[in-house]
Amino acid sequence: MKPPGSGVDHVVDGETITAAAHRPSGAESPLLERERELSDLDQLVADALSGAPVLALIEGPAGIGKSRLLAAAREKADGAGFRVLGARGSDLERELPFGVVRQLFEPVLADEDQRERWLAGPAAPAARVFAPPDDGDTARDVSFAVLYGLFWLTANIAAEGPVALAVDDLHWCDRASLRFIAYLEPRLEGLRVLVATAARMGESHGDSRLIEEIAHDPAAIAIRPASLSQSGVAALARERLGAATEPAFAVACQSATGGNPLLLNELLKTLQAERVRPDAAHVDVIRDLGPRAVSRTVLLRLARLPDDSVAVARAIAVLGDGVALPVVAALSGLDDRRVAEATRGLIAAEILRPDPPRGFVHPLVRDAVYHELAPSERELAHETAARALVDLGAVPEQVAAHLLVVPRRGEPWVVALLHDAALAAGRRGATDSAVSYLQRALAEPPPPEQRTQLLLDLGAAEALLNVPAAAEHMREAHARLEDPLPRARAAEVLARVLIFTGPAQDSVAVVQRAIDELPTEYADERRALEAFELYAVTFGAEVPDAEARLAAARSGDGGDGPGARMLSAVAAWDWAMRGGRAERCTELALAALADGSLFAADPGFMTVIAASVLVLADRDEALTAWAGAMAEARRLGSVFAVCGIDLWRGWTWLQRGELAEAEASLNEARRGTILVEEREGVSRAYVGAFLSRVLLERGDLSGARAALATGVDPAPGSDADTLVRRSEIELLLSERRWAQARAKAEEYRARLGSVDNVAWAPWRSLTAAALDGLGERDAAAALLEEELVAARRWGAPGGLSRTLRLLGTMRSADGIETLREAVAVSEESPARLEHAKALTALGFALRRSRRPSDARESLRRAFELASRCGAQPLAADARSELYAAGGRPRREALTGPDSLTPSERRVAELAAAGHANRDIAQALYVTPKTVEVHLTSVYRKLGISARTGLSAALA
């Protein structure tokens, strides 16, 4: 290091520590004691350039140097040829929809050619983020469409060269932008995109779940800069104060600031201004100044500046970073020339940063100025700012950020502007911002004639985020409505939220009243309401004549509208749960889905009910139903609907034994629950229950246990309760905890009520497995015999084969014929994993009966099928038994077209048809890297080296 006065700078957390008073403000130099962090950044830039998924998370307390390290990351990325796009979160603008996303991309989208090129195709829905929202359907949830569009915008830019997205103050990032980062992060592989962020982790804020999701993703690499050492403190003190620093003085500085670079720098500025020498005699001065270094130093420097500078600093503290000069002028009461002059003085005093956008050198410096204003002064300043922005033609969302913190005065213009801002936020897909604006509009309060519409809009938005709050607001809106049709539509939304928040009887009461009030000419609307009323029975609601009405609905003669289709779907599900036969229930479900009107009307709820009947019946049409529902959900653009379909499609793959497909789909659903920040966790309970069973089949017991640990306690008797309890029992059985499994199975049975479908809730066989483990074999066999009757009544091959397998295994040598039937029943069914289990059980029994030659073929087929399904424990058991029977797997067992997973086959067929990887990715809503990975696996399994061989190999 050069001696004092030599002209060497040390830049710490955005501050330039100068050795001489004449040094130009803002000069930058190498960071002190950050060699390890800089080396890590070099590696991350190289990794991202190679296509590895990388998100650098620079974390630590305020002032530790995060921003300067982020600036270093930007410099390194720029030097490596990355296009660097930057943004910074703001405490004031946390409710500005996609504020950070707009900072990132708007500069490069200003070029019309680039905008047209990069916002084409699947990226097109992202355009609504950057353009004034139109007057489209305000009730429509477009959050998925926007996130998907933003992903492809990023991918399109990266296709022309590597891209770095640098986001400072991630903890102050608006929620819509956080969702984009959380959506992008698991899809980074192969894009050559580096995401570099800086955040204060561990602070309490409303976006903690999203930030934790970002931080815990495998792509996230944490960089945690440490406090400065005593020698580092001494070096900075020597450079700032221009004299040798005595050890006692350095120790006192370190103790007062904790080695925090920003706090130390502010302390040293004060000491420099007061001409304090860095010796032991002045240690007491440090102790007096240290704890309040930032605020005292900033306010001291500010007080020495002209009044114009004070007014401009306060205006910018209220308005936030990047504000235009005319707005600063309007709030400070100065003309543009005086604002410019005052700004120069603030830059020279190291209060404002010299580079655009206009703002403070650090958020703590802004806080010092902002909080020097009394609370009432801050409120009035924000009100003045809001009025000035309106006069200058600012967009409603920008004004709304200030109105959120101004005093409530009951002014109609405030209500109208907040309502406009909420509608605009909703059209951009920023539902949470819309909720904040509407809540504030209601608190103003609005004129009485506007309250009902505000409640309706708020309830509809909250239904995607906060179901109990949605119920409260929709209930009030429903009570205020007088026109029967709008009142009935509000009742339907209210019924949807009440059925999940419970008690379900409340949902029934709302729907029944709406049906009574709705004129008879609205026949299909009445049927839609009736469908919700009757579906509430599955959640434990009492509807005295439900059984007769559901039986009548099984005829499917209720009409052709969406309401009639909903009623048929509910009737089919209820019939399946309460003793119906698979063939008849399937006919009714297929009729409900036949013309596609149910997909269009309700892809994420009533369609799921109908499609689930097909899944329980082991029908291939279920996959077609999910494809139709997903296409409609994506067309509508709803994260909520897409998440729900991913969930139930994941369950479908589990039922069919496609474990890799199931896990991928359920993980997408899990990420979706994070994106919608669903506070009650009902969806997380469903995901956890299904994912636990998938991981159990794959041999990951600890993962299965972790998947269930959602902290959610579903409503007793609900679907989620049924599924969670089944998964808990299966885990206990796998862990051989027989007594606990038996107790849980008895509780499970009690919660099921009249539900009795072996494909959905096989309580008898789960109880039998626990009893068998406890040595009560006769009681276990009796339960299995009873379940076999129920399985034959339902008639679907998967459930029947499962019960036959369990019973045949329990009968040992006497059960071989039962096991043969289990194999035969599942031979042609979609339940491939169940077929593999039946083959394994049969092979095992034959070998134990000293018929090894008869056992070999069953065990070979079992091994091949279990391997293809991804059930490694079962495959290992089958292979072990095969070797014991004197056989060995076929060499070609895991190759050829039949070895392809469904996703691999879809990709292979599209590639064989001549589609490029990016086109395939867009068609299947996956990333280009996913397509590449699937094709690599396809080539290996088919024994080819290029796409040109696909058609022949698949044939």
Cis-peptide into 53, omega within 30 deg: no
- Give the tokens for residue 529: 């309401």
Alpha-carbon span 731 to 33, nearest angstrom = 50
- Which letter does DSSP use for residue 171 in this model? G
Give the closest residue to 491 by CA, choosing from 505, 479, 503, 504: 479
Residue 445 phi/psi, 5° resolution?
-95, 170
Residue 223 belongs to what H/E stretch?
A: strand 220-223
Buried b (16+ CB within 10 A) or exposed e, 525-551: bbbbbbbbbbbbbbbbbebeebeebbe
Q: Note the residue count of the chain.
A: 955
Exposed/middle/buried for residue 918 (C-beta within 10 Å: 0-12, 13-18, 19+): middle
Alpha-carbon span 895 to 507, nearest angstrom = 53
The separation between CA 821 and the C-alpha centre of its own chain, rounded to angstroms, equals: 44
Residue type, 874: L
DSSP 3-state of 412: helix
How many other β-carbons are positioned within 10 Å of the β-carbon of residue 215?
18
pLDDT (0 to 100) of residue 555: 86
DSSP 3-state of 712: coil
Exposed/middle/buried for residue 292 (C-beta within 10 Å: 0-12, 13-18, 19+): middle
Whether the Cβ atoms of residue 301 and residue 351 lie closer than 8 Å to each other? yes
pLDDT (0 to 100) of residue 16: 35
Alpha-carbon span 868 to 943, nearest angstrom = 17
First to last CA, the chain: 71
pLDDT (0 to 100) of residue 680: 53
Q: Do the strands 83-88 and 163-168 form a parallel or antiparallel pair, or are they unpaired?
A: parallel
Whether the Cβ atoms of residue 664 and residue 627 lie closer than 8 Å to each other? no
Residue 898 Cα distances to 620, 654, 874, 886, 931, angstroms: 17, 18, 19, 26, 19
Alpha-carbon span 369 to 375, nearest angstrom = 13
- Give the tokens for residue 761: 């809730």
Residue keyed to tokens 């409900």: 592
Residue 29 Cα distances to 14, 15, 16, 62, 808, angstroms: 11, 10, 8, 21, 77
How many other β-carbons are positioned within 10 Å of the β-carbon of residue 772?
21
DSSP 3-state of 519: coil
How many other β-carbons are positioned within 10 Å of the β-carbon of residue 866?
28
Segments of the chain with pLDDT less than 70: 1-30, 133-139, 202-207, 289-294, 502, 677-681, 711, 891-893
Contacts (Cβ under 8 Å, ≥6 apart) of 832:
656, 657, 658, 865, 868, 869
How many other β-carbons are positioned within 10 Å of the β-carbon of residue 304?
11
Using CA of residue 895, residue 897, residue 898, residue 901, what is the dihedral sign?
Answer: positive
Give the closest residue to 21 by CA, choosing from 272, 286, 351: 272
What torsion, rounded to 10 degrees, do the Cα atoms 863, 864, 866, 869 define? 170
Side-chain-facing half-sphere of 186: CA atoms under 13 Å: 18
Residue 356 sits at the vertex; the CA angle it makes with 350 and 361, to the nearest 5 degrees, is 30
Q: Do the strands 193-199 and 54-59 form a parallel or antiparallel pair, or are they unpaired?
A: parallel
Contacts (Cβ under 8 Å, ≥6 apart) of 204:
none
- The 10s digit of each residue's pLDDT in 489-542 is 999 889 888 887 768 899 999 999 999 999 989 999 999 999 999 999 888 788
Helix/strand/coil (H, E, C) string of 688-750?
A: HHHHHHHHHHCCCHHHHHHHHCCCCCCCCCCHHHHHHHHHHHHHHHHCCCHHHHHHHHHHHHH
Residue type, 387: R
Residue 48 Cα distances to 81, 158, 391, angstroms: 12, 11, 45
Whether the Cβ atoms of residue 741 and residue 733 lie closer than 8 Å to each other? yes
User: 58 has which bridge partners?
Assistant: 198, 223
Q: What radius of gyration, in Å, describes the C-alpha atoms of the chain?
A: 32
- The 10s digit of each residue's pLDDT in 78-128 is 999 999 999 999 888 888 999 999 999 999 999 999 999 999 999 999 999
Strands laid side by side in the 83-88 sheet: 83-88, 163-168, 193-199, 54-59, 220-223
pLDDT (0 to 100) of residue 205: 56
How many other β-carbons are positioned within 10 Å of the β-carbon of residue 316?
28
Give the closest residue to 659 by CA, choosing from 624, 690, 703: 690
pLDDT (0 to 100) of residue 682: 74
pLDDT (0 to 100) of residue 7: 31
Give the global pTM: 0.87
Residue type, 799: G
pLDDT (0 to 100) of residue 729: 98
DSSP 3-state of 360: strand
pLDDT (0 to 100) of residue 9: 35
Contacts (Cβ under 8 Å, ≥6 apart) of 740:
732
Residue 223 phi/psi, 5° resolution?
-120, 120
Alpha-carbon span 882 to 889, nearest angstrom = 8
